[in-house]
Amino acid sequence: MVGGAVLNKPDDTYNNDNAESKTAHDLITLSRRILSLAHKGLPRNEYIKKITTLLVSFCDCDFMELRVLERGTLYCSGITGGKQESFYLKRRDARLDSERKAIPCFDIDTDLERVCEDVVSGRHVDSCPQFTAGGSFGIDNVEDGFMINSTSRTIKIEAHYKSLAVIPFTIEELKQGLIILKAADVGHFTREKMLLLEEISEILGISFTYRRAQVALRERVKELTCLYGIAKVSARPGISLEAILQNAVTLLPPGWLYPHVAATRIRLDKGEYTTEGFDKGVQKQSADIFADGIKRGVVEIVYLRKMSDLDEGPFLKEERDLINAIANEIALIVERKEAEEEKSRLREQLRHADRLATIGQLAAGVAHELNEPLGSILGFAQLAQKSGGISEQVALDIDKIEKASLHAREIVRKLMIFARQSPPQKELVNLSQVVREGLYFLTSRCQKAGIELVKNLADDLPEIVADRAQMYQVLVNLVVNAIQSTPSGGVVTISTLRRGEHVSLVVEDNGSGMKEEVMKKIFVPFFTTKDVDEGTGLGLSVVHGIVAAHDGFVIVDSEPGKGSRFEVRLPVNGVKKVDINEERHDA
């Protein structure tokens, strides 16, 4: 305003201002819509499609292609002339640069792909007029070609396109995206349009970064919610493992992208827990459950209808991480539950062992108390037998009393040996004789169990230096173990023999046998596969300890369904144990 008068702008300036104002307004509107879509955290394919549709209507061109690198995979979407029916979205193999890093270019050798690689690398910004200061490439007429460092370059695209623009955009500080535009008219991408497109590319890079953050946050929240739910269920007092898994299987679907079409199953050992419709699944993701290093089961999730491909089929990379975390969490729950059960079982076995020890002490006390009256009965019977004037029948009866007393005293002596009331001492013993004496209590037990007891005892066995009472204990523990593993009608065979500088005691049965993993634990104290009232898990560990103290070793051979064979080898006259690498199992 000069002297109160208004200075009017020329018409072309006024129109340019209006155009710039309209362009700025449209750019703001586009930016808001792009960022709004990013804020929703849409699935990748859906987001790319919506962004492509928005851009093609704004960029005023005949063809647009959007390329985005996501976790090493190149996603490519395009549309021709704004026609929705021409839209495509596909995955392509990404080219690797000189540092073997993926870039948003196709892994094919064409003029266009070389230009795209130049744009991503930014190496010709200062040596070619077709490159802008922002690193974009624009050419008015592809038929004319262009010069880089005095070198002529051509670029061939579809014949009906003349103008070409390639604009990079940065995601998380890396050039992971390209906008490729084509137009049928010459000189379509003016300097002003290129600047506008670079502003759009900057917004686009921000939106993809923002969307990634939104998706990562959403998936993390779903993961933590799912894992928290499982942990909360497992923490309920007294809840069984079966109840935990049945609850867990219902908590899984909300953790996936399409929960409304998801169904799950958890298999653990012989148990199976599923949600409705699992058997109708058409796409599956799974993770194995490993507890204590052993595969115990699997966690599976399926979609009931075919969904579009993402990172792993229709599943996200985050969902792979989630299902692995769930499998690990279930494994930890299984290990914890089994540890609690094992602790309870060991506690009960300790009580049982304590009761047995009490019974042993009681038996020893009873045996000690019986010794005196038995001695009196035997002494008076012998005196009566020596006195004269008794009838033949009375003499026979007194003889029976004497034999019964001797039998009772022998039982008391053996009770005191097994209760360890006799002091331990090593002496020269014959292993076959030890077996004959030790089977005194075991023959009737075999008969009651319907098991045949077979003895193959060597008569010419050399003597060994051993504690007789401990040898009895080794024999009884091995035979009792065989009896408990053998069904009625089975056979338990006891043999003695010489093997070089060793003598062997062999106890074998045709019972249930053992698996390899059980065989590895049989000498561990308190380990047992029997019920609490059938064993403490100490018998074989005691055997191992006694044999080792005598410089011997135990060889075990077993097969499920075919029985077990235990061989105890002891050195003759104190000869040290030898290496037996050829044997299958040396305890």
The model's pLDDT over 407-464, given as tens digits with 9 standing for 90+, comes to 777 667 656 655 554 555 788 999 999 888 878 667 877 888 888 889 999 988 999 9
Residue 182 contacts residue 61 (beta carbons within 8 Å): yes
Which pLDDT score is estimated for 357?
66
Say whether pLDDT at 377 is over 90. no
In this predicted structure, the answer to whether residue 577 has a pLDDT above a threshold of 70 is: no
pLDDT digits (tens, 9 = 90+) for 474-511: 888 898 888 888 888 889 999 999 988 999 999 999 98
Q: With 60 as the cut, is the pLDDT of residue 259 above it?
A: yes
Residues of the chain with CATH 3.30.565.10: 425-587
As given in the structure block, the two tokens for residue 575 are: 């000869």
**What local confidence, expressed as pLDDT, does residue 345 receive?**
76
pLDDT of residue 3: 36
CATH class of 425-587: alpha beta
Residue type for 404, please? A
Per-residue pLDDT, 494: 93
Q: What per-residue confidence (pLDDT) applies to 272? A: 93
State the pairing for strand pair 174-183/262-268: unpaired
pLDDT at 249 over 90: yes
d(CA 519, CA 14): 95
Tokens of 386: 């020596």
Domain span(s) for CATH 3.30.450.40 in the chain: 11-214, 233-339
Where do runs of H (alpha helix) occur along 387-498? 392-418, 431-438, 442-448, 468-485
CATH number of 11-214: 3.40.1390.30, 3.30.465.10, 3.40.50.20, 3.30.450.40? 3.30.450.40
Q: What is the pLDDT of residue 420?
A: 54
Q: Decide if domain 233-339 falls under CATH 1.10.3720.10.
A: no
Q: 346: burial class by Cβ within 10 Å (0-12, 13-18, 19+)?
A: middle
User: Is the pLDDT assigned to residue 128 strictly greater than 90?
Assistant: no
pLDDT at 204 over 90: yes
Taking only the tens place, the pLDDT of each residue in 67-106 is 999 888 899 999 987 677 788 999 888 999 888 899 999 9
According to DSSP, residue 272 is labeled E
